[in-house]
Amino acid sequence: KAINSLNALGGGTVYFPTGEWMTGKNFLKSNVTIDISPEATLLAAPGPIYAEPKGSIESLIYGDQLENITIKGGGVIEGKTGITRERGKGFGRRLVGLERCKKVTISNITITNGGGITVLLHSIDDLEMDRVKVLSFLNIDPDGGEGKDALNLDGCKNVWIHDCEFRGSDDAFALKARGSMGFQTTSENIIIERCTFASRTCNAIQFGSETNADFRNIRISDCVIEHAGKAGIGITMNDGHIIENI
């Protein structure tokens, strides 16, 4: 209700003060900031309450076709209370899921214990992430695998990610171009610097393997790869297209 009210007024900030705040799926709106204070934790509520609208990302914080949105504050977004790997039953599987948005900022926040992918950003134009920790390093898949990506950057462009930490039990940081989302966009003009990556069982930084669009003009510099179960940097093309100027 607060998000909708602020959007109707042209924008504003939803502030979470000190404490633990349990909530179901939050639908972001344009020109709205989520500010989680340093002593605050946003907890995912349990249950099959994340499916609507049909076809959307099943995530605690969700937005589609928005502009000028920010998640910040120094606090924690915590998924262990309600995010699972259950598919197709309406349970939450991500903590942050954004698609087809413009001018997105995620700053000074810790996001931990996602389902399949902790943070999924799909077809975002003009993204900055700074001082963000995305932590899925110790998560174990109850179905027998150990795969939980920390962050997937899927078909995004004009991106600056700096001074962040990504830890995944599967890929820590993956650049992808899925076909399953129903639309594909090129990954281009991406700068990643002064970040730390660690993967417990797979790749610390991964290009692909889903490559349903091109990847170009991507620079990774001044970063640290602490651990990788497979490769520190993996480049895998399964679906054609072009990977260039990396």
State the Cα–Cα distance between residues 230 and 35, nearest whole angstrom: 36
State the Cα–Cα distance between residues 193 and 209, nearest whole angstrom: 22
Q: What is the pLDDT of residue 33?
A: 97
Report which of residues 84 and 231 the model is more confident about.
231
Kindly report, residue by residue over 81-104, the tens digit of the pLDDT.
Answer: 988 877 778 888 899 999 999 999
Report which of residues 184 and 37 the model is more confident about.
37
Does pLDDT of 6 surpass 70? yes
Q: What is the pLDDT of residue 144?
A: 44
Kindly report, residue by residue over 137-149, the tens digit of the pLDDT.
Answer: 655 554 444 558 9
Q: What is the pLDDT of residue 239?
A: 83
Report which of residues 138 and 62 the model is more confident about.
62
Instruction: Count other Cβ atoms within 10 Å, centred on residue 47.
Output: 12
**Closest C-alpha among 85, 110, 233, 96 to residue 154:** 96
Does pLDDT of 41 surpass 80? yes
* pTM of the shown model: 0.94
| C-alpha 87, offset from chain centre | 18
Of all residues in the chain, what percent are helix, strand and coil, respectively (each to 5)?
5, 50, 45
**Closest C-alpha among 210, 208, 202, 200 to residue 180:** 210
The chain-wide mean pLDDT, for the chain, equals 90
Instruction: Count other Cβ atoms within 10 Å, centred on residue 53.
Output: 8
Cβ contacts of residue 115 below 8 Å, gap of 6+? 58, 79, 83, 84, 85, 86, 91, 92, 93, 94, 148
